Each structure stands twice: as structure tokens, then as C-alpha cells.
Structure 1
Amino acid sequence: MSLLERAPAPPPAGTGPGLAARAARRRSPWRGAAVTVVVVVTLLPMVPVVLWAVAGAWRYPDLLPPDLSTRGLRLLTSDGVLGALGTSVLVSTSVATLACLVGLPAGRALGLHRFRGRRAVQFLLLAPIIVPPLAVTLGLQVFFVRYGLSDTITGVVLVQLVPTVPYAASLLAAAHADLDVDHEKAARVLGAGPVQTLVHVTLPLLRPALVTAFLLSFLISWSEYVLTLLVGGGRVTTLPLLLFSAIESSDRTAAAALGLLVVLPPVLLVLALTRVAGRDVAWMGVSRA
């Protein structure tokens, strides 16, 4: 029998499992409604924030602000806010990167290997999540002061690894548990070294989980307030610190403008990384087909 005789006939145009799945999704009457409800519930609370950011004066019983002002928008371009924005980006990016670097080998050990004390290691890994971070930070504060890490960006980055590494390691452990190690074995048989296998085989297979771990760690760090205030001592100023300061001073225009600035970068990052990683991004450890 020839190769042509053995080859299966291609499916007719317009058929196949992919088209059937898309047709099933289109036939679902609740899919569009559910997406619409989620979008409305998510965006509706932002409407008053946007209005307050451009409101000059807005008092009851006015439904809309009668006067508009650019004070909130001008605040976003001030040196203090731009500096806090840069610090937030630096801290959150550093924390997310380090959390993935620490979580990758930890996740591999927990996901692929069975060893005595594994449950205890998992519990200790999740301890910073179970125990209030404030209590952990108060214990670490002595260490940071002794080694000159208090009131520094380095100290803030290190302390924010406490709540982020457990999430990153847990996500990557779940990804490693589903990893087909035969691909790595095949690469080594073909002559690939450990680094080549990691770069060209393992990391591409773990890309959805890595993107999810990076995003989650970035978002946790981006919105962190208490740990930054305790270790940074008010000298390391991030956007959440400015936002809470505006809220405490009852400056609603400034708080609304800063709130929009706090929300925008994470949304853009999620959209960008989702586009780069493709449709198979693992949201909270669940792959999206």
C-alpha cells in the first residue's frame, strides 16, 4: 500500500471539530448574555470614578456634575504622581519576575516529584497566605532594619515576595503536574543540553502558566499598600500610597483620578500578555481552549 493510499482523506471544507465547537458556542443563548452581564458589572462602578475625576463640584441632588475641571487630570502629570507611577512599575515588575524565578523550580519540585515531607513543604509554602501578611511583615521588619533594607525599594520588593511567591509556585506546580516530561527526554536524546531543553522545550510548554503567574504576582504587588508602607516607611512612594492619602484627605477628585491611574496599567498588561501568550493562557491554573 502506498503512502497516498494510507493517508486519510482531509475533512471537507467547512467541517471539523473546530468549526463544530464554534457553532456550538454560537448556538448557546446564554453566552452573550453572560458576557454582557460580566462586562456591565465590571465597568459600571467605574462610571462615578470617571465623573469624579473630571468634576469641578458635584453635590447632592445633582445626577451629573454641573461643572467640569481638569484638576484631576493635571494631577496625574505632576512630578510626584509620575514618580510614584515609575516606582510602582519598577516594584511590581521586579516582584513578578522574582516570584516566577523562585516559583519555577519550587513548582517543578512539588509538581513532578514525590518525596517525604512534601505536604509539609506545601503547607509552609502557603503559610504566608494563611498567616496575615501584616504579622509576617512585623517579624521581618527587624531583619530589614538590621541589614539596611528598610525604607528602600529593595526591601519593598523582597517583602512583597511573601504574598506572591506562594501563588506563583502553586500555579507552576499545577502546570508541572500536567507537564509531559517525554518532550524533555526526547530533546535530551536528540542532544539538547539542560539549558537548551529548558529554553526550547520546557518554558514554551509552561508559557500559559508562567504568564498567569506573572500577571497574578504583578497585580498583587501593584495593589499592595500595607507591606509597602511598613517596609518603605513612607519614603518608597507607590500609587496605592498616594491613592489612600487622597482618600483620607477626602479629596474625591484626586482620589478618582489616581484610582483611574491605578486601574489602567494592570488592564493594559493583562490585554497585552494575553495577546502575546495566545488563547491558551491558563487563568488561575485553568487553560482556556
Structure 2
Amino acid sequence: MTGRGTVRRGVLSVAAAMAVLPLVPLLVWSISGQWRYPGLVPQQWSDRGLRLLTDPGSQVVQGLTTSAVIAVTVAVLACCIGLPAGRAIGVYRFRGRTLVRFLLLAPVIVPGLAVTLGIQVFFVRYGLSDTVTGVVLVHLLPTVPYAAVLLGAAFANLDLDYERQARMLGAGPIRTLLFVTVPLLRSALITAALFTFLISWSEYVLTLLIGGGQVRTLPLLLFAAIGSSDTTAAAALGLLVVGLPLLLVAVSARLLSTAAPTTIGLGRL
């Protein structure tokens, strides 16, 4: 048992090191004032990149807030939509079920740029272009399929007898959902929320097309810094863009390790 624990800790340590190692060059770049080839270390050091993150004029704080609000909203909405969709494809057997699954995955199969160019006209017509609401709605296109498939796989392996027992004991549909179904799907919901958050958090093309440059998220600021060849600013923004997802992955891994074991395999899906 001790040997297994040591091996497990060793594997986790190596995995953590591999995840953090690519961030080391970004950290060095973010505190460098001048770094010319072929120098192995910067010729000058500067805190300009780190000051950029808190400078009101750089719009980084605003971009961070906007990205977080959009990603959290998208994760919640995607899971709310994916929950009934996942139940439909994971529990019930009906004619056209394969077609429904295909339609759910269609936004992922079709290139996002082509889909966005097609629906941009409707967003402009209904006043959703250049707004946070429009960006949230367009981010649902690539996120809802993942949430539906993950939750559908969880529903396919869910023992529905727990729900039947709750209903027989007098619990209504809402209480059964909140106090029986959702706790049983905790691991799948955490995973779906994490995936959808990360997809929305890192989205660039959809945000640029629908947001029109008016909705400024961290990826937009990052690509602007890269385009201006400001490596110090790009490195500092890159650390910020990557840092929060890494923290969320670590927290989610902790939550999943303490949760009751739940199968999220494909099962009967």
C-alpha cells in the first residue's frame, strides 16, 4: 500500500512538473526588459510585464473580469442545457436517437468559423452582435455538445432506481432532481463544467467575430500583444490566461478525488 502511494505521488509529481515546465519561459519573458539572441538569460530585467497586469490603462483587469463572467455563464448554461439533453440520449431509446446525437455534435464537427459566419447575420439583425450576451450565446455552440455527451454518458451508467425510490417516498420531480440526480452526477457535472469553462475561457475566433472587438477578453488582449511583437506583455498575459485554468484543473481534480466514485464511461451510450 505504501509502495503504491509512493508510485502514485511520483507520477503526480512528474505530471505536475510537465504541466508547469512550459510556463518557465513565459515567466522569464514576463520579467525581462531585453533578451537578445544568443543570450541564455535576459540582458535586462524589468517589472513592466507584471505591472501591466494591474495597470487600469491596459484593460487587463477588465478583460479578466469579462472572460471570467462569460466563461462561468457559459459553463452554467451549457450544463443546464446538457443535463436534459444528456438524459434524453443516455436513458431513453427512441426513433431518431442517432440523428439527435449527430445534431448535438454537429457544431463540433463543422468548423466553428463557418458556423459563426453563417449565424453572424442573425446576431446583427437581433442586436446581439458586439455584446456580451451575443458572445455567451455563440460560445454555447462548441460547449453544449461536450456537456451533453459527458452527461449523457453519466446518465447511461446511472441507476435510475434511486430516483424511483425518491418518488415513491413522496419527493417531487424538482426535489428528486436536486437531492438525488444532481448529487449522483456530481463528478460528471464537475467535469462538464470544467471542460465548458476552459473552452469558453480560451475562445478567440468566435469572440472576435461576434464581439466585434467591443467585447475584450483575455485571449483578444493576448493576441493583440503577440501581433504587436511585445513579448514581455504577451508573456505576462499568457501566464494570466494559463494560470486560472491550471488552478481550476487542480481544484477540480481535488473535488473529483474526494467525490463518491461514479462511472463516467461511455456505458450504454
From the CA coordinates, give the structure whose radius of gyration is larger. Answer: 1
1:263 is matched with which residue? 242
Q: CA RMSD in A?
A: 2.1
68, 77, 91: which is aligned to 2:45?
68
Query: Contact 1:55 / 1:65 at 8 angstroms: preserved in 2?
Result: yes
Deviation larger for 73-82 or 262-271: 262-271
Q: What amino acid is the match of 2:140?
A: L
2:70 is matched with which residue? 91
2:54 is matched with which residue? 77
- Which deviations, in whole Å up to 9, do the C-alpha atoms of 1:123-171 show, x marking residues without a partner? 1110111100111101110110010000000000000000000000000
Greater relative contact order (CA < 8 Å, ≥ 6 in sequence): 2
2:30 is matched with which residue? 53
CA distance in 1 between partners of 2:260 and 2:246 (Å): 15
Is 1:195 the counterpart of 2:174 in the alignment?
yes
1:13 is matched with which residue? none
- Structure 1: runs of 5 or more not aligned: 1-21
CA distance in 2 between partners of 1:57 and 1:235 (Å): 32
CA distance in 2 between partners of 1:188 and 1:200 (Å): 11
CA distance in 1 between partners of 2:241 and 2:16 (Å): 19
177, 184, 188: which is aligned to 1:209?
188
- Which deviations, in whole Å up to 9, do the C-alpha atoms of 1:38-69 show, x marking residues without a partner? 33332221111000000011112221113211
Tell me the matched-pair count: 264
What's the TM-score, normalizing by structure 2? 0.92
Residues 284 and 224 of structure 1: CA distance in aligned 2, closer, same or farther (over 3 Å): farther
Is 1:122 the counterpart of 2:62 in the alignment?
no
TM superposition outliers: structure 1 runs of 4+ over 6 Å: 281-284
Deviation larger for 64-73 or 254-263: 64-73
Query: Contact 2:34 / 2:42 at 8 angstroms: preserved in 1?
Result: yes
What's the TM-score, normalizing by structure 1? 0.86
CA distance in 2 between partners of 1:282 and 1:140 (Å): 41
Residues 283 and 129 of structure 1: CA distance in aligned 2, closer, same or farther (over 3 Å): farther
Return the offset for 1:206.
Answer: 0.3
2:159 is matched with which residue? 180
Query: Contact 1:247 / 1:255 at 8 angstroms: preserved in 2?
Result: yes
Query: Contact 1:212 / 1:283 at 8 angstroms: preserved in 2?
Result: no
CA distance in 1 between partners of 2:9 and 2:257 (Å): 22
Q: What amino acid is the match of 1:43?
A: V
Pairing of 1:1-289 with structure 2 (within 5 A): 22-23=1-2, 25-26=4-5, 31=8, 34-79=11-56, 80-280=59-259, 285=264
CA distance in 2 between partners of 1:23 and 1:108 (Å): 41
Deviation larger for 36-45 or 47-56: 36-45
CA distance in 2 between partners of 1:126 and 1:219 (Å): 18
Residues 281 and 85 of structure 1: CA distance in aligned 2, closer, same or farther (over 3 Å): farther
- Which deviations, in whole Å up to 9, do the C-alpha atoms of 1:15-59 show, x marking residues without a partner? xxxxxxx4562475xx55544443333222111100000001111
CA distance in 2 between partners of 1:146 and 1:283 (Å): 45
Q: What amino acid is the match of 2:45?
A: L
Query: Contact 1:209 / 1:282 at 8 angstroms: preserved in 2?
Result: no
- Which deviations, in whole Å up to 9, do the C-alpha atoms of 1:255-280 show, x marking residues without a partner? 00000110111222223344345434
- Which deviations, in whole Å up to 9, do the C-alpha atoms of 1:214-269 show, x marking residues without a partner? 00000000000000000000000000000001011110000000001101112222
SS of the equivalent of 1:260 reads helix
CA distance in 2 between partners of 1:90 and 1:152 (Å): 13
CA distance in 2 between partners of 1:40 and 1:47 (Å): 11
SS of the equivalent of 1:56 reads strand
SS of the equivalent of 1:140 reads helix
Residues 58 and 285 of structure 1: CA distance in aligned 2, closer, same or farther (over 3 Å): farther
